[in-house]
Amino acid sequence: MNNISMTRASAARSARAAGYCATVFVRGLALVVLVPVLMYSAVLCLVGVGLLILPHELRLLRRLADGERDRLGRWAAASTPPAGPHVRRRLMAVLSDPATGRDLRWAAAMTVAGTALGLIGAALFLFPVAVVVLVGLWWLFPADDPIRLILNVPIDSWGSAVYAGVPQFLLSVLLALFGPPLLARLAASVSRWLLAPSAAAVLAERVSTLDRTRTGAIDAHGNELRRIERDLHDGTQARLVSLAMQLGLAERTLSADPAAVGPLLTRAREGAEEAMAELRDVLRSVYPPILADRGLAGAVSAVVARCPVPATVELGELGQPGGPGGLGDVPAQIEVAVYFAITEALTNVAKHAHAGSVSVTLARAGGTLRAEITDDGRGGAAEGGGTGLRGMRQRIEAVDGVLRVQSPAGGPTVITVECPCGS
């Protein structure tokens, strides 16, 4: 019983391996065609035509290579994430993609190694069937040149078909069980070795990703600074200047016409109040005071309490206790980004979702701060629909976070925010 199930398991494994070998073989055949075409096009670059067709061929190559990367991931459980299609079509852009070089060397090696390994691997799986058929058909061969299979024993009668055929069949079964997995592993490791980026390349890509997000964060920060400067300069500062002027005027008027001073002072006080209100708005947009007072947990609870739609909040483990609201050391800019995202999401729910209830969860798992806002509204929230989703995304991405929106028509809408916050 046990033996049977073991055999069945190895047969299944062999079948999977043979399937993989077959795809390697087919890709190899495709490359047998594509590689010479590529080389020819490269030569044609000298006269210009190649410049136009080469990018398309490289895109095709990328599709083949990505198919292999994907297959590797599923078959050999080796993580070689697909490099993705080329975004731009200019030849230099395509060539400067580090994955293109890997595609090319893989293509060169696979025309020979892939085709051979793939063919043998797939064929070995069918070998027992061939043996049975050929042994059964011994009588079709001429008597002076009888069929000989793996062992050099002629099969020229039903007797020899049994005594030579059965061991040969068993041998072919063994080969079919263990051959394809071996060859598939070999082919897979060659592919992986050629397709997977080196540690240095992975690091370089990570650096360039970080570089991009960092540039985004610096831009966002710069824009924020300019906005604050403009708000203070055009609003508050201008109001204070006009306030000082009104007071100066009142001072001058005092001796000449005391009765006229009253309205001037009233206007001055009103100006001061307006300046204070504006200043408050600027401050709130920089760092909401409630965040400073109560921490992220307290601030989110306050927002939830204020939501016109019945709302619940669930605060998970948020960090080291001790800080205000138990949110010890979440960096301030991440607190602000998450807080504004939740505020904005709740505003959207109140305005657009037609929801009966909304729930907010906020928790920290290791180095990630995670917020989820779920409502039972009508769904269909779309970026660019004027619901502030894009602004939320920009804020979150500026702090290296991720924002996901699931909002099928008919609801429910789930907005997930994840930000790295140190550990």
Site residues, another protein (CB under 8 A): 269, 272-273, 276-277, 280, 283-284, 289-290, 292-294, 298, 301-302, 305-308, 324
CB of 266 to another protein, least distance (A): 10
Q: How many CB atoms lie within 10 A of CB 243?
A: 19
- Residue 66 C-beta: closest distance to another protein, Å: 53
- Comparing CB distances to another protein, the nearer of 357 and 416 is 357
Contact between residue 349 and residue 381 where contact means Cβ atoms under 8 Å apart:
no
Among residues 220 and 272, whose Cβ is nearest to another protein?
A: 272
Bridging pattern class, strands 402-406 and 413-420:
antiparallel
Please list, in sequence order, all residues whose beta carbon lies within 8 angstroms of the beta carbon of residue 209, skipping any fewer than 6 positions away: none
Which C-beta is closer to another protein: that of 72 or that of 275?
A: 275
As measured in angstroms, the least distance from the Cβ of 209 to another protein is: 37
Min separation Cβ 376 and another protein, Å: 17
Q: Residue 18 or 309: which CB sits closer to another protein?
A: 309
CB atoms within 10 A of CB 332: 11
Smaller CB separation from another protein, 112 or 277: 277
Q: Smaller CB distance to another protein: residue 59 or 284?
A: 284
Q: Is the CB of 29 or the CB of 290 nearer to another protein?
A: 290
Taking CA atoms, 202 is separated from 36, 37, 49, 62, 76, in Å, by 30, 30, 34, 18, 20
Considering the complex, what minimum distance in angstroms separates the CB of residue 326 from another protein? 13
**DSSP-derived secondary structure for 274-305:** HHHHHHHHHHHHHS-HHHHHHHHHHHHHHHHH
Q: Which long-range contacts (CB under 8 A, 24 or more apart) does 330-333 make?
A: 330/296, 330/364, 330/369, 330/421, 330/422, 331/399, 331/421, 331/422, 332/287, 333/399
Q: State the nearest-atom distance from the C-beta of 423 to another protein, in Å.
A: 25
Closest distance between another protein and the C-beta of residue 318, in Å?
17
CB 253, CB 261: distance < 8 Å: yes
Cα–Cα–Cα angle for 31, 34, 37, nearest 5°?
Answer: 150
